A and B are shown apart, each in its own frame.
Chain A
Amino acid sequence: MIIAAALCPWPPLLVRELTGADAVLPELRAAAAEAVAAMLAPGPDVVAVVGPGPRTARWPGEGRLDVAAFGGWPGRSGDTSRPVLPPAAGIGAYLLDQAGYRGPRLVWSVSEEEPAPECARLGAGLATQGGPSQRTGLLVLGDGSARRGPRAPGYVDERAAAFDTAWQRAVRAGDLRALLGVDPALARELMATGRPGWQVLAGACPGPLRTVQVRYAGDPFGVMYLVASLVPAAP
């Protein structure tokens, strides 16, 4: 069962060393760290990490973010003995590393082509793996549209605002079932990387939520970021 979940965007700028001398959005970095800490606080037996990726696949639990793939400082590529994860899952692993989490991890990437029912099925499987007594924390990586303005990575798409309003409303209201209705094709067109993860989240947490806490919401660079902590109601 899922005892706590965290929803985080995965801009590489969450990695402090990638933003140069300026901290750039320290409040986003802090919110992500708080959401991960809150997910870890009840002491899960295992943490599942789910992020968009090139294909739907399970990855080694000891996998890491390849910071050097984004640049950064020569000679600071970290522990290169760990296998490299796709970037979104890698950011998840990085956030867990930063939080000092050393327990077991289940790492999944989910293709942006994966249909909603398949995503939900994967989520349900993560919630029930290890048997009914296994307490699982869930870290979902994903952003809203990256086409929210003329300076945005994907420039402007007039549909982005309504799209982002809708999925954020569902998260804030704890209405995760509504996330299953997000159209994968529209999400792709809007460069919204979060869609598969939201639907995994919905499948993993089918019941009512006890609390939803939004820790950051904003689009300072034209990409919609939402950081939230979600706690399912006890079964």
Chain B
Amino acid sequence: MPNENLPGPLTLGRHSFAVQQRLVMAIVNRTPDSFFDQGATWDESAAMDRVHAVVAEGADIVDIGGVAAAPGAAVGVAEEIHRTVPFVAAVRAAYPDLVISVDTWRHEVGREACLAGADLLNDTWGGQDPRLIAVAAQFGAGLVCAHAGPLAPQTRPFRVAYPDVMADVLDRTQGLAARAVAAGVPAGAILIDAAHDFGKNTWQSLEVTRRLGEMTATGWPVLVSLSNKDFIGETLDRPPGGRLTGTLAATAICAWLGARVFRVHQVQPAREVLAMVSAIRGEQPPARTVRGLA
């Protein structure tokens, strides 16, 4: 646990991010079947074009994933490495300073990704492979400690119930973070993530959003992955392509409650929402103020 629950800087790759900075992590899928982009960046040149685009839009981190979260065709270790690792190397060559995250639960993939230049392992399935922590420790990489409930990777929640969902989230994510620190993962590079939709129905994802302040109060940097997810779709009765407004509303709430990293599909609107929240909170100045002051 961070020192006396006081948040500190987040150190990823060559960067140290202050507590009040709100970071955008852009999703770059190396999959043919992810729910939102439907394989738009399955082609490697299209994926690299997306990296160029999200960097230009102000992304701080790219999160490269080779396996869709939803059930579907099984993707083996070798195939996941093939999808992600050469691409990590290519992005690292193109952007020596960019923070590169890899979305994987497998230690074999994490190891190869770190060798190729990844700075952060986004373990969205929340410690399914206990050896992933050791990989992060070995390479000094960061680690996202997520709460996926009782679920195995690539499964959907089925009648999942919690006496207190946030208590479960806090228990699981802080437990993973403590294990990571004990294993030697740099404490300043560990994040916790409630993992909206993962092992949660819509009510439960709404509740962890509403109670996100309980996560930020732990002092651990909080990552939220809200973008276009089903809890937004069910709340607003909108298909994946119609969830931007809901995504941005949830983004604003989480930012207000202290989340520091936002994993998104649409970088530019998220960047604007975060700038707005930071200005309202008095943590970042407006771009340019003249009204009433001339």
Contact = CB atoms under 8 A, between A and B. Distances in A.
The answer to whether A and B come from one shared complex is: yes
Interface of A: 11-13, 17-22, 24, 70-71, 73-75, 146, 153, 220-223
A133 B114 CA distance: 78
A26 to B, nearest CB: 12
B285 A13 contact: no
A19 B292 contact: no
Interface residues of B, number: 10
B59 to A, nearest CB: 19
A13 B288 CA distance: 10
A21 B287 contact: yes
Contact of A20 (B282, B288, B292, B294): B288
A149 to B, nearest CB: 11
Interface in B244-293: 282, 285-290, 292-293
- Shortest beta-carbon contacts, A-B, top 5: A221-B294, A22-B288, A20-B286, A74-B282, A13-B293
Contacts of A74: 282
Interface of B: 282, 285-290, 292-294
B293 A70 contact: yes
B287 A22 contact: yes
28 contacts: A11-B293, A11-B294, A12-B293, A13-B290, A13-B293, A17-B285, A18-B289, A19-B289, A19-B293, A20-B287, A20-B289, A21-B285, A21-B286, A21-B287, A21-B288, A22-B287, A22-B288, A24-B289, A70-B292, A70-B293, A73-B285, A74-B282, A75-B282, A146-B294, A153-B294, A221-B290, A222-B294, A223-B294
A209 to B, nearest CB: 29
B39 to A, nearest CB: 39
Contacts of B289: 13, 18-20, 24, 71
A42 B289 CA distance: 36
A148 to B, nearest CB: 11
